[in-house]
Chains A and B, each alone.
Chain A
């Protein structure tokens, strides 16, 4: 039930009215969002990745400027032009990736930018330590002032971040997915501390998509989806199922023309993959599945539930602690990328700017990167430039890359066209298995549609496709069958995507439901393990 405005604006410490943010590349991250904070509440900001939560909070912290809309803090209309302005008005932010200097001590990090001095020149370390200790005690957040930041556990780093914000006079704390990096015990500890802060009158924004935590700690919640606010609710008046329905869902149900899949032999076979990350968190838990010729197997799930780690293992960006993965019977774990590619595996990487392209190089140089050594492109020691030009022109035409010429720098293209360059390369060198990791994230409708059609076309021609996507629309429309990942495990397997609803998906994606081991096991089509 949406929360009605029962009282005047005086009660709100922050009011963001009709906030719209359009980035320079034309992407609308926020569209007419209203967001209000009451004094002394813990307010959850929920939504999938890309829903616009972070953008909204960046604007509140002065890191981004709204394209239109107004922000009031304590009833005063403000232009938050930079974080220092936001801090001056009592707004602090604890980033997910800590902004600390690892080689300095906790106390030194605490006083960065406001260093106490001895006789005007020397840094007064004793004073810094003393200050840190005082704040630590005042807010009951235990830290060791003299320890180096690189030597302390993640949970303590987070406390340092919180104390830093408090020391700078923050009365409103924005916490960006604070529990994502914490262990269960650390999370429990954090919640005690947050409740404590709330008692002292601090206001906390808690960005998260973990339902249990939100039910436990927050007073109210705002749900965002696709840049819009889906409403504000009192936490105690709303069920997990309702939240899940509001968070996960599709605007329009596209219907893509696609024939029924006729799956052939197993191409990719993954068994019992386990991975424990550097913070001792289990990111992959007994992952087993098969992908067969001619089918698209989708992996759905809220981001951060192990999908990225899974793809990393399959393309040797990382090594699992246990388990196996093979393509046509040949193990691919730990193989150099060159060998993996030789087996016929292509990857559309999630981070296209980091892995997908060399942005300073030309389109031509980008589309031949996986085949530059092949005979057809070389004449003796030199390149066969004619063949390379022909290949580049062919791919540009076939994949309708909008550009001035093949020698244009890739980094100068729009996001959609950059992704077309990536898929042009990955789809065109006769792969037998395509790993498509978030293939259409953040790109325009035209390019999205093109890439999706191409994926279906390729799978129907007998290629095995593993599609990882946080876009529910995409993964439900494209996949022939799909698995849902939650918390590093496979929570569900659906042999047929027809008849699946957003509600069912949402419940598995957010961990409200989990299929039995036997049900999940069905995705292993070759049963002799």
Chain B
């Protein structure tokens, strides 16, 4: 299949998936929308859709009309920070055909470890955050050796292993927080405050865009995207990861160290998730108070699938997810539609992208057409 057709196929597939998801969403909104008559329900649905689709970027008021708001954009960009990291993490692991689901626990552990460094290790400003984030990443990277080595040495399913690991991480952190680390002077279970030296500074001044915590973490995330892209498409290790993902038998026959590369992919994935946790924690919060898995890892899986495991596409996919999430929040606030709807929409999109056979017939048609054209051209060449 030519490159052009391939891209066209990807775009069509994405659009169809989004359209179907929105269609299902509209139906659900309509059912749950307030109002007694059909007309009222319809109006409520319209309002809800407006909030969901354009609300995340535009302010709508009856007096001033619809106007773009920079603050809302900053909000969305800020929300993308952790999911870009988990998206990249999952991209790298899935590229090697390793269905490691540990990004979820990874980001929580990374956040926790970074928080501990931020609280207990004194360091000069600037350096503090960098060290804390790197340690957070490193700890998760080491932990990911567990599913990776179990997979390569004993053929244990990395999926099951990493999935269970998430809960172990969560409960160990909860246990440590409740028993040893909680600041007893506070009304809820949370750690002592971070040292001020560890904070990741906001890019834009908080007073101008109050509420939006768009920190330098966003820039770090974009740098990570570029590094991951270079790693995957311009380095021998990323190349080995992709070849193993496409055809492991081929990679082994070609002389690549399949086992080591599989381990590498998961360790790197762990590092990215952990570092993402650190960046999120030190940028957004002043003390550690997570008591459950944050959900960024699951979103990361959706993002990686939307991005077809291409790191460069991750910011786009993360933007889409953040936009959708914000839209649903607004819808819940202003249009009386349950916020849980976002989960359903996410689920529907996930369904359509994950199903490998999705639109397979259309793809097949394109492939056949390509092949036929080629054969026809070859025949022409032969005769000519």
Contacts and interface: CB of A to CB of B under 8 A. Distances in A.
Interface of A: 24, 26, 315, 317, 336-338, 340-342, 347, 349, 354-361, 365, 369-370, 372-373, 377-378, 381-383, 385, 402, 404, 407-409, 412, 414
Interface in B235-279: 235-236, 239-240, 242-243, 246-247, 249-257
Contact of B253 (A355, A408, A409): A355
Interface of B: 1-3, 6, 230, 234-236, 239-240, 242-243, 246-247, 249-257, 367, 370-371, 374-375, 378
B246 A358 contact: yes
A376 to B, nearest CB: 12
B243 A361 contact: yes
A336 B257 CA distance: 9
A354 B370 CA distance: 22
Contacts of B240: 372
A414 B236 CA distance: 28
B250 A355 contact: yes
Given A357-B250, A358-B246, A372 B239 contact: yes
A127 to B, nearest CB: 35
B239 A365 contact: yes
Nearest to B3: A407
A369 B235 contact: no
B3 A358 contact: no
Contact of B247 (A24, A317, A358, A412): A358
B253 A365 contact: no
Nearest to B236: A372
B256 A338 contact: yes
A402 B375 CA distance: 12
Contacts of B255: 336-338, 340-342, 369-370
Closest 10 CB pairs of A and B: A369-B254, A338-B255, A358-B246, A358-B247, A341-B255, A355-B253, A360-B246, A372-B236, A358-B250, A370-B254
A354 B250 CA distance: 7
Contacts of A414: 374-375, 378
A336 B374 CA distance: 39
Given A338-B255, A338-B256, A407-B3, A381 B235 contact: yes
Given A315-B253, A365-B243, A412-B374, 9 more contacts: A347-B253, A357-B247, A358-B251, A361-B242, A365-B239, A372-B256, A382-B234, A404-B2, A412-B370
A381 B231 CA distance: 9
Contacts of A356: 250, 253
25 contacts: A317-B253, A336-B255, A337-B253, A337-B254, A338-B257, A340-B255, A342-B255, A347-B253, A356-B250, A359-B247, A360-B246, A360-B247, A365-B239, A365-B243, A369-B250, A369-B251, A369-B254, A369-B256, A372-B239, A372-B240, A373-B236, A378-B236, A408-B2, A409-B6, A414-B375
Contacts of B239: 365, 372, 383
A402 B378 contact: yes
Contact of A349 (B253, B256, B374): B253
Contacts of B251: 358, 369
B250 A383 contact: no
Nearest to B382: A446
A355 B254 CA distance: 8
Given A349-B253, A407-B3, A383 B236 contact: yes
Contacts of A381: 235
B213 to A, nearest CB: 33
Q: What does DSSP make chain B's interface, helix, strand, loop or mixed?
A: helix
A409 to B, nearest CB: 7
A382 B374 contact: no
A465 B360 CA distance: 42
B7 to A, nearest CB: 13
B271 to A, nearest CB: 16
Query: Which of A354, A358, A370, A409 has the most chain B CB within a 10 Å cutoff?
Result: A358
Nearest to B239: A372
Nearest to A425: B254
Contacts of B250: 354-358, 369
A355 B251 CA distance: 8
Contacts of A342: 255
B235 A26 contact: no
Contacts of B371: 24, 412
A72 B238 CA distance: 57
A428 B145 CA distance: 37
B378 A354 contact: no
B286 to A, nearest CB: 37
Query: Which of B242, B250, B254 has the most chain A CB within a 10 Å cutoff?
Result: B254
Nearest to A409: B1
Contacts of B375: 26, 414
Nearest to B253: A355
Nearest to B255: A338
A26 B240 CA distance: 34
A414 B246 CA distance: 19
A402 B6 CA distance: 20
Contacts of A373: 236
Contacts of A383: 234-236, 239
Contacts of A407: 3
Contacts of A357: 247, 250
A317 B242 CA distance: 22
A355 B242 contact: no
A361 B257 contact: no
B159 to A, nearest CB: 21
Contacts of A358: 243, 246-247, 250-251
B234 A385 contact: yes
Contact of A361 (B2, B230, B246): B246
A358 B234 CA distance: 18
A318 to B, nearest CB: 13
Query: Which of A317, A355, A359 has the most chain B CB within a 10 Å cutoff?
Result: A355
Contact of A337 (B230, B246, B252): B252
Contacts of A412: 1, 367, 370-371, 374
Nearest to B247: A358
A336 B260 CA distance: 13
Contacts of A337: 252-255
A445 B252 CA distance: 30
A355 B256 CA distance: 13
A365 B240 CA distance: 10
Contacts of A377: 236
A355 B236 contact: no
A24 B375 CA distance: 10
A363 to B, nearest CB: 13
A312 B1 CA distance: 33
Nearest to A413: B374
Contacts of A24: 371
B128 to A, nearest CB: 28
A472 B125 CA distance: 77
Nearest to A352: B250
Contacts of B253: 315, 317, 337, 347, 349, 355-356
B297 to A, nearest CB: 27
B370 A382 contact: no
B375 to A, nearest CB: 7
Contacts of A382: 230, 234-235
Nearest to A361: B246
